[in-house]
Amino acid sequence: MQTRFAPDRLVDPALASSEAVIRKCVHCGFCTATCPTYVLLGDELDSPRGRIYLMKEMLENDRDPTPEVVKHIDRCLSCLSCMTTCPSGVNYMHLVDHARAYIAERYTRPWHERLFRELLARLLPYPGRFRLALRLARLARALRGVVPTGQAFAPLRAMLDMAPPVVPRATPAVDAPVAGAKGRVALMAGCAEPVLRPEFRAAAIRLINRAGYDVFFAPGEGCCGALVHHMGREEEARACARRNVDAWTRMLAEGGLDAIIVTTSGCGTTIKDYGFLLRTDPAYADKAARVSALAKDISEFLDGIEMPVARERGMTVAYHPACSLQHGQKVTEAPKRLLSAAGYTVRLPADAHLCCGSAGTYNILQPGIAGQLGDRKAAALGALSADVIATGNIGCAMQIGQRSAIPVVHTVELLDWATGGPAPAALSHLQEGKIS
């Protein structure tokens, strides 16, 4: 696509990067067929191609964002399916992230949007606050009927609906070395995942240990920054990245690391992009690139090492590939290969490339579209006649779990179970013969 950015404006690294991305787009339209919002809404401006046009006009002409432009950018899930489809290599992720930061700086949202975005940024990345908020939401659910029905309060209704009936007890992240270890890995402690489903991390530790690797947690590590980054809060995201880069760099200096393992694929996509996020920071650029190179999704790591012997469980698994894993990290075959090698029958749903609607905070900020996508995904998975649904992202697990009678677990829970670990808690209702 031809661009006409003023040369003096391209000294800004963010603008220069976005200009280069826009120039790669040839408007072929391949992306429209795999964009969830375009498939759902049929509006060209809710497709990657249409959004690129809107972002080009805004950035190229140094215009303040209009409500119309903000509406269509906000509707983007950042599922990155368009990047998998694009034959021209357009890095839509970097472009839309820049546009969101530009909007956050130059657009004043209505008061209710500012309120809910601030609330999410102050709660979700902090496990203690998030756990308390979930407990309060559970109590407040009885008052849902008095919440105004207007669009302004849709995020509040969505938050109340998503709060689990029981909030799991806090479980500390404890180092787990093994005798005669083959290597040493850092496992990201996470923020939302251990609050909502602490069994994911517990299964990961057991399985990595059983494979012969020490598991350590980095003191000082915190939220990866994805949640605030996708809301355009760029400096907060960079602060998160710097904190984590410092934490993992100290571990590297102390004893080296074979990998930095992430069990939430949404976090993994962001950590693998730290090198780009901090590319203009002379104190962090090299360290961030090293951290990004070491980051691996847990399925990616396990697929590259010798796994413990598995015992077949005789179960059919509906595998939901999280967008952040299949599109953001291009990890597509490892989870399926691991599950099959462990004796599970693996099935994929129709339109497996389409998002379930979770997308970080999307199912709170855009609950209408997210709900339609979630219902569609749950129906596609339900049609597979599987015993269990497996995925590699906490957001997907919660989004699909709300809508499906089939239990939803993390892929690593099934691998842990097959190699000697306990049955996943979500499968405790099944007949004894299948979980013995």
What pLDDT sits at residue 150?
75
Dist CA 283 CA 288 (whole Å):
9
What pLDDT sits at residue 164?
85
Q: Is the Cβ–Cβ distance between 317 and 347 less than 8 Å?
A: yes
Instruction: Show Cβ contacts of residue 267 under 8 Å, excluding neighbours closer than 6 positions.
Output: 188, 190, 224, 226
Structure tokens at 199: 């069994």
**Closest C-alpha among 62, 52, 49 to residue 95:** 52
What pLDDT sits at residue 433?
42
What pLDDT sits at residue 430?
63
Dist CA 236 CA 226 (whole Å):
10
134-170 CB burial, b ≥16 within 10 A, e <16 = beebeeeeeeeeeeeeeeeebbbebbbebbbeebeee
Q: What is the dihedral of CA 21, 24, 30, 34, to 10 degrees?
A: -10
Residue 41: exposed, middle, or buried by beta-carbon count in 10 A (0-12, 13-18, 19+)?
middle
What pLDDT sits at residue 436?
42
State which residues of the chain have pLDDT below 50: 431-436
Side chain identity at residue 5, one-letter code: F
Structure tokens at 418: 């097959």
| CA 156, chain centre distance (Å) | 21
What pLDDT sits at residue 154?
84
Dist CA 381 CA 349 (whole Å):
5
Dist CA 225 CA 124 (whole Å):
11
Side chain identity at residue 308, one-letter code: P
